[in-house]
Amino acid sequence: MIDDVLLETADRMAKAIEHTQSDFSTVRTGRATPALVEKLKVDYYGSEVPMQQLAGFSVPEARLLVIQPYDKGAMKAIEKAIQNSDLGINPSNDGQVIRLVFPQLTEERRKDMVKVVKHKAEEGRVTVRNLRRSARHELEALEKDHEISSDELERAEKELEKLTHEHVAEIDKLLQHKEHELLEV
């Protein structure tokens, strides 16, 4: 039973790290990448649809992202979604494709991006700690129901603590990498 709780918690913590990493990929560095826009919600005929379902993406140059809508009727909706997003980029539309030209980031903007990334990392850490807390409650409930002994509970809590530290360290490593990427000129 202890192993089940620990395995499930480790799995959830790994998913929290994946989520944090995908959050990081939505933060703009100096390069164009489809991850910046593919999750943007587009109002497509009255329903909110992720952009990746409406268009293909290509990056012909380091700071140019080309969006090719599968349906030309979605062009205006995609443009509007980009303009309403926090990217701060104006799309240019030639009737066939939408081009996003990413300007060089200023030092001030880079520092703002680092703050955003640090906030996202803290959200990831909090998620991992919340998972630890819920697992600890499950383990304590097992002990209360006399399904495990207090010694087993103590060992399981030490294992849980180790798991938590490993996952928080992984988030810190991802944060450090993203920070380096953002501050690189």
CATH architecture of 34-101: 2-Layer Sandwich (3.30)
**CA 32/CA 68 separation, integer angstroms:** 15
Task: Kindly report, residue by residue over 132-165, the tens digit of the pLDDT.
Answer: 999 999 999 999 998 889 899 999 999 999 999 9
Q: Name the residue ranges covered by the structural domains of the chain.
A: 2-25+106-183, 34-101
**149 closest CA partner among 7, 157, 4, 130:** 157
Q: How confident is the model at residue 27 (pLDDT cuts 50, 70, 90)?
A: confident
Task: Kindly report, residue by residue over 122-136, the tens digit of the pLDDT.
Answer: 999 999 999 999 999
Beta strands in 82-144 (DSSP E): 92-93, 98-101
**CA 100/CA 65 separation, integer angstroms:** 5
Instruction: Give the distance between the most distant pair of CA atoms in the chain.
Output: 70
User: To the nearest whole number, what is the mean pLDDT of the chain?
Assistant: 89
Task: Kindly report, residue by residue over 62-77, the tens digit of the pLDDT.
Answer: 888 999 999 888 899 9
| CATH class belonging to 2-25+106-183 | mainly alpha
CB atoms within 10 A of CB 142: 19
Task: Kindly report, residue by residue over 82-128, the tens digit of the pLDDT.
Answer: 888 877 788 898 888 999 888 777 888 788 888 889 999 999 999 99
**Helical axes 2-25 vs 107-144, angle rounded to 10°:** 170
